[in-house]
Chain A
């Protein structure tokens, strides 16, 4: 088959996956939060409200899309795309199974982090161009957060890379066939989850949206599908970060004690199921935790996460070398 056609089909599959994911995750968020909050969530559209999200998407698509007069037009229109495209592109390296990935990159982990770090740029653009003071504050916070947490996030994934000796996500999964890394790398897992919560703008670190402080933060002035894109990319990022957590620490698409031949058949299902479990955990946090203050966030990033990451990296490095020396 034509390689260009194959590439196009893969991108389309990725887009389809992302959109479907968005719809499913929005419904899941509402139901999970609902039940955490002793209420039912959507119940009326479809069986147990299953079609509610579809109705909402239709509403978003058909809504009037007013543009405030004072906005910086170019940036204002570009921002949702700058937020949306990286979170679509980040799907490329996620391994759904040994063979199911849009692209089997040698530097898959680095690629995912790199492309994800473009998202705050779009948030800053949205906040800056909206000509709204709350949006501006939200955008500003997003950048502060980005600077403080990009390094801890990368550092917390590094011990796993040290153990595997590869940045390829499939290699990382393959290296976990005996032992999932969350056991030897438990501190790294904790650090990774905290840093990715910040990266995702999730409670308790939803600083750039901060409803009770900044109204809706950077997305205050967006309506209709432009808002839809911002919203969708949030859920897509959630899936990617959860997927990375699964890949790095919970054995990706593999299951223990089951022969590889049998596993190959339903590996993508295993991967998605694990990812959704991690997402459920993120939503659980979202339903119960208050928000940290903006200066506390910075302190946590620079004074706690960064030194802790460095220390753990050192420990892992020494341990890896020792194991190698013993094996030799």
Chain B
């Protein structure tokens, strides 16, 4: 893995020659199987999901298979649609975090943070230094928790089982910490416009330090258990390759993009919270296959541990929130703020009409873009590879379906 050359892709760069052009597939959900050549064989159209053990929720993939080989794939989403963006139009600004939690339910802090940041931008609220640090700290804690879910389920997709439960063991400790801080294990609603809900509770410092100390050992165990396995390596090396152009063309972000050789990380390139003051590297790989994505995410967890230590050491004194009125009425206008969620750039675009509820809120679900890449690169692979590829880009359907 190459370590962070300053390889930042210009935002909105035009896709050059050789970019991926999606194959012409018949549109619509009722795909008619097309026979092959003169032999009397028939393609099998299988509904992969929405009820299937490895769809990471309720994704429905319509796979046209020639024996074991995928010849066409279509992603059908929306089975978890709850109308979060519409609901947001009827929530006061303080309550937006509640909805964001339920978008990407494995990394609630990041969703809340993006919503809080965009509100602060509109209201021009100055966030106290300590709140920034707490946000970064909790963001990294949540990132590890989220990556552990990905790590466990990725192994499940490859047919292994043990690593999932080992991942859950560590995640349990993290959720305990998150619960101690925010009062909830997943739907935190902790990051609020102006700062955070409450100060860090007493004793959380020791808890976190104890966790990162043990996790330093556990992360190597995880890496050995799955990544050290010969069979796993043969399943992921060279599988599901997303080249650089395709990755940029599809708007990939996060670890998926960095595994394809583009070094873009919101935390580093458009710093928010306390990331400017933290020392971390952005792990990169150039192969763009499932192994690269695996390696990048594992390294990201190690970096998160580093950042948690720095946050604990450098936590400043002061207020955990700015003085903000009970009812927020941002002036009419619009703003966009983005955070680096475990899945990529999670952005919130907010339009305000001056009332106490947003006029329109749209969030950018990074996994949606990853989903589309998977759809594009799936034809030609085996069913087993398709599942591993879908697992490797870390899909969370709650975020995609909104």
Contact = CB atoms under 8 A, between A and B. Distances in A.
Contacts of A33: 161
Interface size class of B (residues with CB under 8 A): 20 to 34
B382 A295 contact: yes
A88 to B, nearest CB: 29
Interface centre among B161, B165, B383 (most CB of A within 10 A): B161
A133 B384 CA distance: 15
B157 interface: yes
A37 B162 contact: yes
A33 B166 CA distance: 12
A294 B384 contact: yes
A136 B169 CA distance: 37
A38 B162 CA distance: 9
B387 A289 contact: no
B169 to A, nearest CB: 5
Contacts of A36: 162
B166 A213 contact: no
A291 B234 CA distance: 10
B158 A291 contact: yes
A133 B231 contact: no
B384 A293 contact: yes
B30 to A, nearest CB: 16
Contacts of A293: 234-235, 382, 384-385
Interface in B232-257: 232, 234-235
A137 B225 CA distance: 29
A33 B165 CA distance: 11
Interface string B195-234: 0000000000000000000000000000001100101101
A206 B159 contact: yes
B68 interface: yes
A213 B162 contact: no
A290 B231 contact: yes
Contacts of A39: 165
Interface in A18-66: 33, 36-39
25 contacts: A37-B161, A37-B162, A37-B164, A38-B166, A137-B65, A203-B160, A204-B231, A206-B159, A210-B384, A212-B156, A212-B158, A213-B383, A213-B384, A215-B52, A287-B161, A288-B225, A288-B229, A291-B158, A291-B159, A291-B231, A291-B235, A292-B235, A293-B235, A293-B384, A295-B382
Which 4 residue pairs are nearest across A and B when measured between Cβ atoms? A291-B159, A290-B160, A37-B165, A212-B54
Interface of B: 44, 46, 52-54, 65, 67-68, 155-162, 164-166, 169, 225-226, 229, 231-232, 234-235, 382-385, 387
